[in-house]
Amino acid sequence: MKSYILGYGSLINLESASKTLGRIISDNEVLIVDVKNYSRLWRLVIEVIVNDYQNKPVNAVFLDIADQGGKELNGIVIEVSMNELKKLDIREKYYSRINITKCIHPQVQDGKVFAYQGKPEFFVENFANPVVLTQYLNIVNKGIRHWGKEFSDKFAATTQPFQFRMIDGDYKFYNKEQNIFTGRD
């Protein structure tokens, strides 16, 4: 049985996904999908180091998905090997890998579709002074634009806006393996 991963944030950007998987992903390997009964929101906090912020720890907010009946979001699905799933588990260590196969439209008939959903202990309400990183937002926006206007419009319509301050600068994770699998090392 095949395994697939849902990209709904930075994994929508094929360059970002390719860095983690260790291979070039082309458009023809991707299925654009809708995910039923989930919403996309800015709620997962990861402490990172930002070069332009005096190399001090920063509570950065990243995109997440939440179970929410009657809602929907768009994204992309990419086939992955078991080894690639292990790399993604390291990259997304603050998220849990969940099976969302039944929520995907159009359905994937020959395998399971997984997504990464934030672990509650990393939700924004548990942290002081959360910020959105301009660099992360640029990665996501580049991915969104790649898929065209219709995709972009739906992404905007199905993503809860953020109310956090933004900061510039290159960022790195504290975890060395995460940096490797995001191309930051």
According to the model, what pLDDT value does residue 114 have? 98
The parts of the chain modelled with pLDDT lower than 70 are 53, 185
According to the model, what pLDDT value does residue 51 have? 84
According to the model, what pLDDT value does residue 55 have? 72
- Identify whether the C-beta of residue 143 lies closer than 8 Å to the C-beta of residue 7: yes
pTM of the model: 0.95
Q: Which domains does the chain have, with CATH numbers?
A: 2-181 (3.10.490.10)
According to the model, what pLDDT value does residue 181 have? 74
According to the model, what pLDDT value does residue 169 have? 86
> If DSSP states are collapsed to H, E and C, what string results for 35-62?
EEEEEEEEEEEEEEEEHHHCCCEEEEEE
**Distance separating alpha carbons of residues 1 and 77, to the nearest angstrom:** 15
- Say how many Å lie between the first and final Cα of the chain, rounded: 33
According to the model, what pLDDT value does residue 54 have? 74
Q: What angle do CA 92, 77, 8 make, to 5 degrees?
A: 50
Q: Based on the number of CB atoms within 10 Å of its own CB, is 180 exposed (0-12), middle (13-18) or buried (19 or more)?
A: middle
